[in-house]
Amino acid sequence: MWVIVILCLLAAGAQLLNQLTAPRPTSPELRAYVDSWTILDKWIPYVLDGLLILAAASLFALQARAVGLFAAYAAVAAVASVQHALTTRWLDVFGWAGIAAVGVGLALSLLVLLYVIRLRSRGVLT
């Protein structure tokens, strides 16, 4: 459980740091991709980071609400990934490697969610 909490906090922190300090893309492909973002594409990563931090904190505190927070994170991440792929030039830039990375990320989110559900069913989370 500690490993999951630490990895979630590191992932959210790295994502926030990347969003706040990322330089403007210089290649034409990346510039076109970033220019195709909607306001939703720009703000969803912050929402996901917030959900992940809250979920990790709830898991650390052994609170049952961690299940709902991890479920919300997985659902928002899945919907946002599909929306982003369909409405931006994401597939043009990242292709199959990007699809594979998103698939692995969503699979890991589901595994964590299943683990947290298991903890709740065993009475570990209250």
Query: pTM value?
Result: 0.90
In this prediction, residue 26 carries a pLDDT of 79
CA distances from 110 to 74, 86, 106, 114, 117 (A): 7, 22, 6, 6, 10
In this prediction, residue 116 carries a pLDDT of 97
In this prediction, residue 83 carries a pLDDT of 92
**23-71 tens-digit pLDDT:** 777 788 888 888 888 899 999 999 999 999 999 999 999 999 999 999 9
93 touches 30 (CB < 8 A) = yes
What are the structural domain ranges in the chain?
2-20+29-121
In this prediction, residue 104 carries a pLDDT of 94
C-alpha to C-alpha distance for 117 and 102, rounded to whole angstroms: 22
C-alpha to C-alpha distance for 94 and 89, rounded to whole angstroms: 9
Task: Write phi, then psi, for 82 (nearest 5 degrees).
Answer: -65, -45
**72-119 tens-digit pLDDT:** 999 999 999 999 889 888 888 888 998 999 999 999 999 999 999 999
